[in-house]
Amino acid sequence: MNKMIHIKDFSRPGGQLTEIDPAELMPLPPPYDKMEKAPIRQLTDDQRKRMDASLDGIVAIGLTPPATPEEEKAFIEKFLAGLEKLFTVENNWTFLQPLVHTLDYCVKCQVCSDACPTYEASGHQEIYRPTMRPEILRRIISTYIKKENSLLRKFKDSDIDLNWQTLARLAELAYRCTLCRRCAQVCLLGCDNALISREIRKIFSQQMGIAPKEIHEKGSVQQLKVGSSTGMTPAALRNVLEFAEEEIEEKTGRKIKIPVDKKGADMLLIHNAGEFLAWPENLEAFAIILDAAGVDWTISSEITGYDSVNYGVWYDDFQFARVAIRQSQVAKNLSVRKISLGECGHAHKAGIVIADRVLTGDLNIPRESILPLLEDIVLSGKIKLDPSRNNFPVTLHDPCNMVRLMGIVKPQRRILEKICPQFREMTPHGVENYCCGGGSGFAITQSTNFPDWRSAVSGRMKLKQILDAFQDVPGAEIKKYVCAPCSNCKGQFRDMFEYYGVWKKSGILYGGLVELIVNAMVDIEKPFIQWEWH
């Protein structure tokens, strides 16, 4: 049994609060019940000296302890100043209302804990309860912001000792929640404990300049500077597109020119740039389908206009606004009628939903998901499809931001029901889906031992769901496909499948939705899905 951890333990100097115990992790079906290696790499002694890992031995941020008491004091004051800002309209124009609601109304009934894949898969680690972070925040507010008198605090049990260690652990803990918001969905009182994780990240980033490198420095900062968080410049983009056009011709015999910066096009399609570099077959499939259906579309080669990601939605309102405005300006300059977002979940949330808070006047261009358009194309009969070409077991992963948050549930299903004869659902699915385990930036957080954690813990529930969906065809000799219409989820599946040896053991490939559509196109001779690129 995992030991009880109390909030006062967070303030304990030194030592590690808890450890991921392989024996406690949620069991996986065979052959995954026996892992050959330790689930999570230990940090080196040198890393332990430089980076704080006192929460659970895992590092997403890796803060360095302060050298002097003065430094520690300044650190705490800065945090408190940032925390105070969260409660003013001017400084929290995004999420003030749900933040206050959640802090005021949660009764800690723990329904959300049962819904949280990280808490469940970890073997019920106390620290991962969705109620843990909000409660720490509530106590800091009671003791240090509202400065409630000690008798009242004792009565409310809201005391907390605030030191550097408390905050270092809280900062890391904010990066143990994938922001999948399954907790918010089941809450009877409408509290959104995942939002609290995001708001804690916001204090650390906006007020203190603390965020995982992959998300900030190499992420949103790089995107605004060179054009994409992948480091892909406009020149590199053109090189990639040339390559994609060559590949399309080789695979399909079709000569397709991918439209770039076409003024006045009906639709600006923005892909997650990960598609360009890691999964070019996705952008190629899009080009083939849109060309065949006669859609008037373009992509942009302007900085930030060809990468739909907006990592700010995970941790920082300023970075969020900068990217959202830039993307909309690109669309405005091209005089397109609408922006359409490709297969990327968080870009849907950022660009379609949250961007409404910053895009005013003529910058508020219509923005939509590409999925309904794909459904129209497939169901209208505009392109001829032969489902027997997809006659292998297929299951569907629901990206949290598209499905739970936005309710885009049916279009992708109606497509798969039409073109995949062996399509089967996971349990649960749709708005009740489980996160891939890579949400909120986890899939791109690649350093130290964090990737191990997201494969072993936060992605564990999803892996179990996938294996269960294919339990009638478990062997590697039968090739199977997890359709994941989201770059971030695909990145998580790639890493997690490699971590567990899923291709070798079970023959499961992951990929997008459009690849399956093109694979079923009657007038394309060769299969489009290439299983050897697992």
Partner 1 sequence: MPQIELAGKKYEVDEDGFLQELDKWNEEFAQAYAHTEDIEGTLTEEHWKLINYLRNYYQQFGIAPMIRKICKDLGIDMKKLYELFPTGPAKGACKLAGLSKPTGCV
Name the nearest CA neighbour of 453 among 170, 172, 110: 172
CA 490 – CA 403 distance, rounded (Å): 16
x/- site string to partner 1, residues 284 to 323, per CB under 8 A?
Answer: -----------------------x-x--------------
CA 140 – CA 369 distance, rounded (Å): 40
CA 117 – CA 458 distance, rounded (Å): 7
Q: Note whether 226 binds partner 1 by CB under 8 A.
A: yes
Q: Note whether 219 binds partner 1 by CB under 8 A.
A: yes
Nearer to partner 1, 77 or 217 (CB): 217
Among 158, 488, 506, 519, the residue binding partner 1 under the rule CB under 8 A is: 488
Amino acid 111 reads V
Segment interacting with partner 1 (CB under 8 A) among 161-169, 196-204, 236-244, 317-325: 236-244
We find the least distance from the C-beta atom of residue 222 to partner 1, in angstroms, to be 7
Among 16, 47, 301, 422, the residue binding partner 1 under the rule CB under 8 A is: 47
Nearer to partner 1, 115 or 347 (CB): 347
Nearer to partner 1, 190 or 253 (CB): 253
Q: Note whether 232 binds partner 1 by CB under 8 A.
A: yes
Residue 369, classed as helix, strand or coil, is strand
By CB under 8 A, the count of residues binding partner 1 is 42
Q: Note whether 64 binds partner 1 by CB under 8 A.
A: no
Q: Determine contact, residues 158/139, Cβ cutoff 8 Å.
A: yes
Residue 480, classed as helix, strand or coil, is strand
Nearer to partner 1, 301 or 446 (CB): 446
Tokens of 165: 């260690």
We find the least distance from the C-beta atom of residue 343 to partner 1, in angstroms, to be 11
Q: Note whether 143 binds partner 1 by CB under 8 A.
A: no
Q: Note whether 273 binds partner 1 by CB under 8 A.
A: yes
CA 398 – CA 485 distance, rounded (Å): 8
Strands 480-483 and 394-396: parallel
CA 197 – CA 175 distance, rounded (Å): 7
Name the nearest CA neighbour of 509 among 488, 524, 530: 530
Torsion angle defined by CA atoms of residues 125, 55, 48 and 60, in that order, rounded to the nearest 10 degrees: 90
Name the nearest CA neighbour of 168 among 311, 74, 51: 51
Q: Note whether 278 binds partner 1 by CB under 8 A.
A: yes
Nearer to partner 1, 432 or 498 (CB): 498
Q: Determine contact, residues 58/449, Cβ cutoff 8 Å.
A: yes
Q: Note whether 479 binds partner 1 by CB under 8 A.
A: no
Contact residues toward partner 1 (CB under 8 A) are: 46-47, 50, 62, 214, 218-219, 222-223, 226, 228-233, 235-236, 239-240, 243, 247, 272-274, 276-278, 280, 307, 309, 344, 443-444, 446-448, 487-488, 491, 532-533
